[in-house]
Structure 1
Amino acid sequence: MLALALAATLAAAPAPRVAASTVTVLHVPRFDQLQGLTAFMMRAGASSQMLNPASWRGELHPFLPLDPTQPESLTALGIDATGPLSVSIRQDGRLACTRVADAKLFQEASANVLARNGDVKAGTVKGVTTLRAPTGLGGFAGYVIKGQEACAFASTDTDDSLRKEATKLVTKAPAADARMGAVPGVLYVATQQGVVGLDGTANGLKVEGTATKLPLPPFQAGGTSPYGAMAPAGLLFSRAQVAPTGVAQAAGSVRDAVRMVCPTCPAEQVQGMTDALAKQLTGHVLFAVDSVQVKGSLRKPEVRFFAAKQALAAEVVDAAAVKAALAPLGQFPGAKALTDGYSLEAKGGSLYLRLKGKHLVFGNDSAVTQTVMTSLPEKGAPLTRAVDFTLDPKKLARGLSQVSLMDVMGDETLAAFFGASTELGPLLARSERITGWLDSAANGSHRFSVNWTLPEKP
């Protein structure tokens, strides 16, 4: 039954026509079903030019002006607005495949654009019509059409491979992409690392997809989480159940953080303590970031680590065994014993490892650590997903705004944050909430979903 359902799903949506050597694929199963998504983009575009359809609609076709906010604009170009659009982005140019409703009108509209640079070459062989013209930028643009299928192209050089690819695409049936069939959406973006489906309304954006390269451990869903009853708070609030095979990886990330901000801590003892703690973890974790307060240059790893005021809670099997595993910490330089654990003076701030019942809490801020300790519930509750999270967009905007222009020089990661602050900061500040979930999928990949909600009234 599952196989039949998947086959029906794949058959219902037109498959993408994808050229060989494509880096990124953009696929719209039906152009006339983009209204909800474009409604969100138009509203979001008032605060973020990057999301405004006017900024990216030129990428939908190599040379024709397709307007996603007005499906009737396709009809004026001879394109079937109820049909699919597939864009293949390659290193040497782009191809866009559409279904035509009026071949003559499509050819006339294309010729009017392509003829601007002169030297148009056209011909028909075995029912396949080709037109090609120079772009004026050292490459060629044109289209190949057979029946109702048309693929347009624009190359960045004089190589003829894009025209040949376009010919192949219109003369054979497209292959279904199972990754697109597995996630909902009216617009898909796919690479070798995964696929994302997008849909929306005037007040919200929904993103769902799969990815193979996320630097995360495997997770598992089901059962009761000791943190399931906690109410989301702060900049980021996330609950997860790490699979048994991923516990060591998750514990390793904490070990690496300690080593980074405490270079004087004995490495062998840090490793031994981490290994001992990993054996006591059930996999249920809570991660909370209250806010971001940058003190110093973010180019320094310790400043980045302590900028986000955060705490991590993890359920343990045997509290006594955990207490024994933490005992060597008391001999570390800068360590101080607390009634329920230890604090550790580190480079850039202090670390806290505290134990409450069967919960080990690791934090880099005393107030946030205490808040998490106080908020731990006596009873758990079920979680429907392996990971869920809630983001406060306004706090996120304030955090991103603290990345300075001087910080980004020579650091690609910080440059990305600075760019996000510039482009998305105003939109985040006007947003209501961002929520989502994540599950593990086959072959080490992850499936995820994000819902971005705007206020009902602008």
Structure 2
Amino acid sequence: MLSSLVLAATLAAAPAPRSAAQAQTVVHVPKLDALAGLTAFLERAGTHAALLRPAAWRAELHPFLTIDPTRPETLTAVGLDPAGPATVSLRTDGRVSCMRVSDAKVFQAKAAEAMTQAGGEETKSATTKGVTTVSTTRSAGGAMGYALKGTDVCAYGATDEGGAALLKESVKLVGKAPAADARLGKVAGVAFLATGGAVLGLDGNATGLKVDGTTTKLPLPPFQAKAASPYAAMKPEGLLFSRVAVAPAGVSQAVGSLRANIQSLCASCPKEQVQATTDAVAKQLTGNMLVSMSNVQVRGSLRAPEARFFAVKQALAAEVKDAAAMKSALEPLGKLPGAKALEDGWALTVKGGTVQVRQKGKHLVVGNDDAVTQATMAALPETTAKLERAADFSLDPKLLARGLSQVSLADVLSDENLAAMFAVSSELGPLLARSERITGWLDSAPGGAHRFFFDWTLPESK
């Protein structure tokens, strides 16, 4: 009974978009006049990143009418309600934009002008069961039209093959009240984006962007908040500083990711021995972990695994259940090729550099850079504190921009993943270099998904 009430309350609070079936991406704005804050961020960020400029996406809000939500008069002039909702559905055969009309006659007149300008065949119109439909083909190819019922209108722009299907879908969408979307109800914002396995809620102002989301695509272990963490009170520093509480079921996955990296750099290390050692280590971890990435220093081609691994100077700390048992679990490392005993652990010489595996009381520290490893160990506290979220992070955008800028053109031309990094650097690098900080948190969600939030802060306006 209680679960039914919770579900009903969630659905009641969830936004109700008129989403087209088979949409690959859906953008929903419950109230167009509530976008001022988000637009303020995009306008400012867009001076350094063209992709974020509102002018770059305003044309996507409607298939054939030019509107600007930040200028209510542009909506009123075409008969649309500047305070109403808007839902844009992107499909392989075109897109559908559903909005509210403030003046049906004005809208129809402006739509007729746009269709005439498209220069296609004769416009077809009909009214059935209170739904007025208007459609035409375009001289440039494809089709356009709309379905209007009362104050609700869904307009479409289609590819050569999608006209009939999108007209039918538009009729269906205006024919009934929109259903609440529980996915959107799980996140907060003034605008929502659903694409692939991710749902984002967006809000902001002139000095910051807030993104609240869920996704099934993050390659991360499950998290589980704990009563206390030894890393909760540590001060965030460097490129990336993240404190996490990994659920018991995810500890082996987290350790396995590190094992795979080391194994790839040490081809002569017996796989069975490395696997057995990491399994023994995983059993001695509580799940409280710290990731500290100091900076990026690229040496050599990033196409090489060792260059990628050692490019980011970093250390990982993990809380240990039993210090003596952990020391015993680490002993087999001394038998690996290139292993050197340290006072508090081992140094493993691998292709491209050295990996340190060290222990300080009930902390295991693994690092690929001596300075970062030493600094992390020195900063480890002796007391625990409450970690508000199962995982949090602090990112220095200036250091991120500097790191992304080190991807070479030669690497870009030979690796798709590096090409994506180069694209991010080119598009967002100037904005990152002028940003203050990016902070946020993550948590686990049902079905192997993750919930996340981040706050992108710009300097105060001058």
* Same fold flag (TM > 0.5): yes
Q: Which residue of 2 aligns with 1:148?
A: 151
Kindly indicate whether the alpha-carbon contact (under 8 Å) linking 2:32 and 2:83 is maintained by their aligned counterparts in 1: yes
Give the match's secondary structure for 1:223.
Answer: coil
- Distance in 1 separating the partners of 2:18 and 2:144: 18
- Given candidates 121, 134, 138, the residue that maps to 2:124 is 121
% identical equivalent positions: 62
Kindly indicate whether the alpha-carbon contact (under 8 Å) linking 2:93 and 2:161 is maintained by their aligned counterparts in 1: no
Kindly indicate whether the alpha-carbon contact (under 8 Å) linking 1:53 and 1:68 is maintained by their aligned counterparts in 2: no
- Given candidates 188, 192, 197, the residue that maps to 1:193 is 197
Q: Which residue of 1 aligns with 2:37?
A: 36
Aligned residues: 458
Choose 366-375 or 125-134, whichever is displaced more.
125-134
Q: Does 1:388 align with 2:392?
A: yes
Q: Which amino acid aligns with 1:393?
A: P
- Distance in 2 separating the partners of 1:111 and 1:9: 40
Q: Which residue of 2 aligns with 1:108?
A: 109
Q: Deviations over 1:323-377 (max 9, x none)?
A: 1111111121111110000111111111010000000001111110111000001
Runs of 4+ residues deviating >6 angstroms: none
Q: Does 1:236 align with 2:240?
A: yes
Q: Which residue of 2 aligns with 1:51?
A: 52
Q: Which amino acid aligns with 2:289?
A: V
Q: Which residue of 1 aligns with 2:410?
A: 406
Q: Which residue of 2 aligns with 1:308?
A: 312
| Unaligned ranges ≥5, structure 1 | none
- Distance in 2 separating the partners of 1:8 and 1:249: 36
Q: Which residue of 1 aligns with 2:138?
A: 135
Q: Deviations over 1:9-34 (max 9, x none)?
A: 64456510111111111000100000
- Distance in 2 separating the partners of 1:108 and 1:337: 82
- Distance in 2 separating the partners of 1:399 and 1:290: 11
Q: Which residue of 2 aligns with 1:327?
A: 331
Kindly indicate whether the alpha-carbon contact (under 8 Å) linking 1:288 and 1:311 is maintained by their aligned counterparts in 2: yes
Kindly indicate whether the alpha-carbon contact (under 8 Å) linking 1:6 and 1:181 is maintained by their aligned counterparts in 2: no
Instruction: Report the CA distance between 1:162 and its aligned residue.
Output: 0.6
* TM score, norm. by length of structure 2: 0.96
- Distance in 2 separating the partners of 1:108 and 1:48: 37
Q: Which amino acid aligns with 2:136?
A: A
* TM score, norm. by length of structure 1: 0.97
Kindly indicate whether the alpha-carbon contact (under 8 Å) linking 2:323 and 2:362 is maintained by their aligned counterparts in 1: yes
- Distance in 2 separating the partners of 1:270 and 1:21: 46
Kindly indicate whether the alpha-carbon contact (under 8 Å) linking 2:63 and 2:156 is maintained by their aligned counterparts in 1: yes
Instruction: Report the CA distance between 1:192 and its aligned residue.
Output: 4.2
Would the alpha carbon gap of residues 13 and 259 (structure 1) be closer, same or farther in structure 2, given more than 3 Å must change?
closer
Instruction: Report the CA distance between 1:5 and its aligned residue.
Output: 6.9
Q: Which amino acid aligns with 1:145?
A: L
Instruction: Report the CA distance between 1:231 and its aligned residue.
Output: 0.1
- Distance in 2 separating the partners of 1:9 and 1:41: 30
| Unaligned ranges ≥5, structure 2 | none
Would the alpha carbon gap of residues 13 and 180 (structure 1) be closer, same or farther in structure 2, given more than 3 Å must change?
closer
Choose 207-216 or 40-49, whichever is displaced more.
207-216
Q: Deviations over 1:125-159 (max 9, x none)?
A: 22211111223332101111111110000111234
Kindly indicate whether the alpha-carbon contact (under 8 Å) linking 2:101 and 2:151 is maintained by their aligned counterparts in 1: yes
- Distance in 2 separating the partners of 1:28 and 1:6: 22
Q: Does 1:445 align with 2:446?
A: no
- Distance in 2 separating the partners of 1:11 and 1:34: 22
Q: Which residue of 2 aligns with 1:287?
A: 291
Choose 41-50 or 412-421, whichever is displaced more.
412-421
Would the alpha carbon gap of residues 5 and 329 (structure 1) be closer, same or farther in structure 2, given more than 3 Å must change?
closer
Kindly indicate whether the alpha-carbon contact (under 8 Å) linking 1:388 and 1:438 is maintained by their aligned counterparts in 2: yes
Give the match's secondary structure for 1:234.
Answer: coil
Q: Which residue of 2 aligns with 1:254?
A: 258
- Distance in 2 separating the partners of 1:280 and 1:243: 14
Instruction: Report the CA distance between 1:412 and its aligned residue.
Output: 2.1
- Distance in 2 separating the partners of 1:347 and 1:357: 29
Q: Which residue of 2 aligns with 1:169?
A: 173
- Distance in 1 separating the partners of 2:73 and 2:226: 47
- Distance in 2 separating the partners of 1:362 and 1:321: 17
- Distance in 2 separating the partners of 1:362 and 1:136: 63
- Distance in 2 separating the partners of 1:258 and 1:318: 24
Q: Kindly report the root-mean-square deviation, in angstroms, between the aligned alpha carbons of the 2 structures.
A: 1.4
Give the match's secondary structure for 1:294.
Answer: coil
Q: Which residue of 1 aligns with 2:85?
A: 84
